[in-house]
Structure 1
Amino acid sequence: MTEKAKYRTWIRVYKLVIFIGMALILLDALFLPIELYLKVVAVILALPFLYISFLLLYSIYQFSPIGGNYQSRIHDFIVSKVDWDGKGKALDIGAGNGSLIIKLAKAFPEGAFTGIDFWGRGWGYSKEQCKRNAEVEGVSNRVKFLKASAADLPFEDGEFDLVVSCLTFHEVKDSKNKTEVVKEALRVLKPGGNFVFLDLFGDEKIFGDEQAFLEEIRAQASNLESCKLADAVQLPKLLLHKKVLGHARILKGKK
């Protein structure tokens, strides 16, 4: 049997386990010899955990190949937005298990590709799985993976012709200012180089006022385009929940 690449979804399983566990603990009150009103209170308290558990399960299903395969579709869309002749060096910030950078390597067979990630605990991603996926997909000779933080990239200024990132900047833990993390990505991009970023740029709790954020990025980029993910990719309504991709925006431009 031919080996297949293994790509996990963006949803962290441990979060799902926590919410399901909390819901079950509260619902156990139904079987305890306690007053009825306490049982009612326990059920009411369990409802938010049940709802979030359902939302996470639904998202896992829709992102996976057995469901809507939307994770792969979104990566395909990012690749389609890349404006590049494919000659030179490309960087993927937040490689995960390598899905996006491998798609890029297959789309641009003359390029050299680097994927970085911190591969922190709880994600289910690993550098080893990235390398194995690249081997299975036949691009390992042009793709390398490094462990690094997106807040402090181990590259020289202007080292890459293309930089992409998918839902990574908001997850960076070693920088409170996520705008600075985006600027760090632009630092390693060559003048005239292209970038495509997808993240929760519409979430003011993470990136602040959206217009102010865009103005800061425009100061370092030209031809900046910004659009909602929902306007670019047709997604199921529940995936547009603010806890999933409701705040997702795509930034595309040149340095």
Structure 2
Amino acid sequence: MNQKPNYGNWVPEKLLYLTFGGAALFLVLALLAGLAFSNTPLAVICAILCAVLLAFGIYMYACHECFAFGKGDMMAKVHAHLVAHLNWDGHGTLLDIGCGAAPLTIRCAKAFPDAALTGMDYWGAQWNYAKEQCEKNAAIEGVASRIHFEKGDAAHLNYADETFDAAVSNFVFHEVHSARDKRDVVREALRIVKRGGVFSFQDLFAQKSLYGDMDAFVEELKKEGISEIHYIGNLEKTLDFVPAYVRTPWMISGMGILYGKK
């Protein structure tokens, strides 16, 4: 029986268990308060909390199924959108910054069969990903011989200037806690790209609280030496594979792509 890769989900199953478990707990408390202790106000409060958690859990489950590889496939489609904007011949080296469970790294390996790739991630305790999971996924997908995985910090990449021919990153920069200004994470990612190399980054670039005025930021990057750079914001409003119910501030809002040539 062939194994399937485990790429995880942007909505972790742990969150679903906690949400539905909390709803069940408040339902039991509501029943106890109303039937065993005749405490109607407490029963009503617990019933309301149960209903709220249940509704939230149903919503998050719908998002989970939408994102899931092999089901709604939205995560895969987001990755495909990023790779489609990477104008590269595939000869040389590529870095995936914040590779998670390596779905984007592996997609790049398949799209560029002559490339040597590095997947880098912090793999902190708060994430359901690990280096061993990445290596297993790469082996299952038949590309392990061309991908190297290592731990690192996206705000302080452990590579010399102009090390890679290409760099990609997907919904990572805003999660980098070691950098207060997320624009510095973008600059750090561009630092390791060779002169003439290419890049494609997707993140919540249209959220001004994270990146400020992106048009102004693009002009700054041009002045700093990036020869070609393009920005498209609010992609969730234009990409037909992003359903309306995930275009919320707590899910995907302000999605943008920054791509070009150094």
TM-score, normalisation: structure 2: 0.88
Counterpart-to-counterpart distance in 2, 1:219 and 1:24: 56
The answer for the alignment partner of 2:243 in structure 1 is 236
The structure with more radius of gyration: 2
The answer for the alignment partner of 1:74 in structure 2 is 78
Q: How many residues align?
A: 255
Deviations along 1:54-96, one digit per CA (max 9) or x if unpaired, are 2321111111134211111211222222100111111101111
Counterpart-to-counterpart distance in 2, 1:34 and 1:209: 57
What is the aligned counterpart of 2:147 among 138, 143, 146? 143
2:172 is the alignment partner of 1:168:
yes
Segments of 5+ residues of structure 2 without an aligned counterpart are none
Segments of 5+ residues of structure 1 without an aligned counterpart are none
Counterpart-to-counterpart distance in 1, 2:221 and 2:240: 23
The answer to whether the Cα contact below 8 Å between 2:229 and 2:258 also exists between their aligned partners in 1 is no
The answer to whether the Cα contact below 8 Å between 2:200 and 2:259 also exists between their aligned partners in 1 is yes
Q: Report deviation, 1:200.
A: 1.2
Counterpart-to-counterpart distance in 2, 1:218 and 1:25: 55
Q: Report deviation, 1:196.
A: 0.8
Counterpart-to-counterpart distance in 1, 2:223 and 2:49: 47
RMSD after superposition: 2.1
2:37 is the alignment partner of 1:30:
no
The answer for the alignment partner of 2:132 in structure 1 is 128
The answer for the alignment partner of 2:252 in structure 1 is 245
Q: Report deviation, 1:210.
A: 4.1
The answer to whether the Cα contact below 8 Å between 1:87 and 1:110 also exists between their aligned partners in 2 is yes
Map 1:31-180; keep pairs closer than 5 Å. 31=31, 32=33, 33-180=37-184
2:18 is the alignment partner of 1:11:
no
Letter in 2 for 1:101: T
Q: Report deviation, 1:30.
A: 1.9
Q: Report deviation, 1:227.
A: 3.2
The answer to whether the Cα contact below 8 Å between 1:157 and 1:188 also exists between their aligned partners in 2 is yes
SS in 2 for 1:141: helix
